[in-house]
């Protein structure tokens, strides 16, 4: 991303404001495991992907005028969250595939050439975050770290930072990112479609001080069913996150959400209230009144499955995109007519989010009701182009703008 240090400084004062009322959650054992070799033979973990074939229908993708989409990297099975190092290495998590990849455009021609498989047999390593030369990966119950990853692509090893997150696989895969406070934000999804958990770490977003000798999750947000995407507003330093609404209440209820955290410890409604105003038929009576919970800043449609989201901070796209949130909607499964399968953009101004527009569509064949791809995450490259991961087609796309 652009000017990471400036961004950090502009956000830190806000971040310091959060956190005083945080309460700590001591659920796990602390781990200081020795670095261990992982199951990746040195000779086999590097592959040239410049000629890899992608099974995609790019001519179906609709974008605003003067935008263009291409395949940046093919042969990235089950590509999920992405994070980028300062020198442009794109790290990619996966879910059922169990792999973590490093993908590199060696000659800078806008198309990736090399893929390193950094790890295999991990447990749904959906989340990746890069900081200070190290790559962090979230499995279901633990956070692991590949130190000095850039210099160890051929011989990657990891250490366990923390392994006390719950082991439930249901909504157990995690999106992770470092906040402006330098802490790693780690959600813990509800272990069900709809349920009330005794353990308050479920349906939360936590944060972890990965530099501490004793990392312990602190809960930052309660009542979050399953967030698989968040970012911080570059203007205010505030955290925004997507949340996936519950299933089995019909085609159009409840909406998935875009939420805004203004104070640590806020409760966002689940499992009692959905989309700010829909009382849960089973659990609604057990919670407080509607006004006890933070309503979403924007309703994103029922079952659309909003996953990765980032504030656009680049210069390549037209100026109206600057500071907009771009959200990847993975698409529905629990709806009679499919919805989602798009990227959308919204304006964010302070606490307000408005003007949602479809930015990219075409992964779903509406007539046949069949999808050939599903967007998962978005990441901006240094030049302001936008990468999109697709876990169904197993590719990473790159969107560029050429209108000026």
Binding site for Ca ion (CB under 5 A): 105, 107, 109, 111, 113, 268-269
Among residues 254 and 373, whose Cβ is nearest to Ca ion? 254
- Order of strands, sheet of 375-380, starting from the edge strand that comes earlier in the sequence: 67-73, 395-401, 386-390, 375-380
Among residues 109 and 198, whose Cβ is nearest to Ca ion? 109
Least distance in angstroms from the C-beta of 269 to Ca ion: 4
Distance between CA atoms of residues 387 and 312, nearest Å: 11
Among residues 124 and 224, whose Cβ is nearest to Ca ion? 224
Least distance in angstroms from the C-beta of 194 to Ca ion: 12
Least distance in angstroms from the C-beta of 223 to Ca ion: 6
Least distance in angstroms from the C-beta of 257 to Ca ion: 5
Nearest residue to the partner Ca ion, using Cβ: 269
Least distance in angstroms from the C-beta of 293 to Ca ion: 7
Distance between CA atoms of residues 155 and 118, nearest Å: 8
Among residues 113 and 377, whose Cβ is nearest to Ca ion? 113
Report CA torsion sign: 18, 20, 23, 28.
Answer: positive
Among residues 297 and 392, whose Cβ is nearest to Ca ion? 297
User: For residues 242-281, b (16+ Cβ closer than 10 Å) or e, as one string?
Assistant: bbbbbbebeeeebbbbbbbbeebbbbbbbbbbbbbebebe
Among residues 112 and 143, whose Cβ is nearest to Ca ion? 112
Least distance in angstroms from the C-beta of 142 to Ca ion: 27
Report CA torsion sign: 355, 359, 363, 367.
Answer: positive
Q: Tokens in use for 82?
A: 């992405």
Distance between CA atoms of residues 57 and 373, nearest Å: 9
């Amino acid at each position: 991303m652009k000017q990471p240090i400036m961004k950090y400084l502009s956000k830190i004062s806000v971040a310091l404001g959060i956190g005083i009322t945080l309460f700590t959650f001591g659920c796990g054992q602390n781990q200081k495991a020795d670095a261990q070799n992982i199951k990746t033979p040195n000779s086999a973990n590097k592959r040239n992907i410049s000629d890899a074939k992608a099974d995609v229908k790019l001519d179906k993708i609709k974008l605003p005028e003067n935008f263009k989409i291409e395949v940046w990297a093919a042969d990235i099975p089950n590509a999920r969250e992405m994070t980028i190092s300062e020198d442009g290495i794109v790290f990619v998590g996966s879910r059922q595939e169990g792999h973590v990849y490093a993908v590199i455009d060696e000659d800078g021609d806008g198309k990736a050439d090399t893929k390193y498989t950094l790890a295999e047999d991990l447990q749904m390593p959906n989340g990746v975050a890069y900081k200070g030369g190290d790559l962090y990966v979230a499995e279901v119950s633990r956070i692991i770290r590949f130190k000095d990853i850039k210099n160890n692509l051929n011989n990657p090893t990891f250490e366990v930072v923390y392994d006390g997150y719950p082991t439930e696989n249901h909504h157990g895969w995690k999106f992770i990112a470092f906040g402006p406070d330098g802490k790693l934000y780690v959600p813990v999804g509800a272990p069900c479609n709809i349920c009330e958990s005794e353990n308050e770490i479920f349906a939360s977003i936590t944060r972890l001080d990965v530099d501490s000798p004793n990392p312990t999750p602190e809960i930052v947000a309660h009542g979050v069913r399953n967030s698989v995407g968040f970012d911080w507003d570059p203007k205010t330093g505030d955290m925004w996150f997507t949340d996936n609404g519950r299933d089995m209440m019909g085609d159009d209820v409840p909406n998935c959400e875009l939420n805004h955290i203004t104070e640590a410890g806020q409760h966002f409604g689940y499992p009692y209230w959905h989309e700010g105003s829909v009382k849960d038929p089973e659990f609604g009576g057990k919670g407080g009144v509607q006004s006890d919970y933070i309503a979403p800043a924007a309703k994103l449609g029922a079952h659309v499955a909003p996953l990765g989201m980032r504030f656009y901070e680049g210069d390549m796209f037209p100026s109206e995109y600057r500071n907009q949130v771009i959200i990847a909607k993975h698409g529905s499964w629990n709806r009679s007519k499919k919805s989602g399968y798009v990227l959308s953009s919204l304006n964010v101004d302070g606490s307000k989010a408005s003007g949602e527009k479809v930015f990219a569509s075409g992964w779903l064949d509406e007539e046949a009701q069949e999808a050939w791809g599903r967007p998962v995450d978005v990441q901006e490259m240094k030049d302001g182009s936008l990468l999109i991961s697709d876990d169904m087609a197993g590719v990473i796309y790159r969107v560029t703008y050429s209108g000026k």
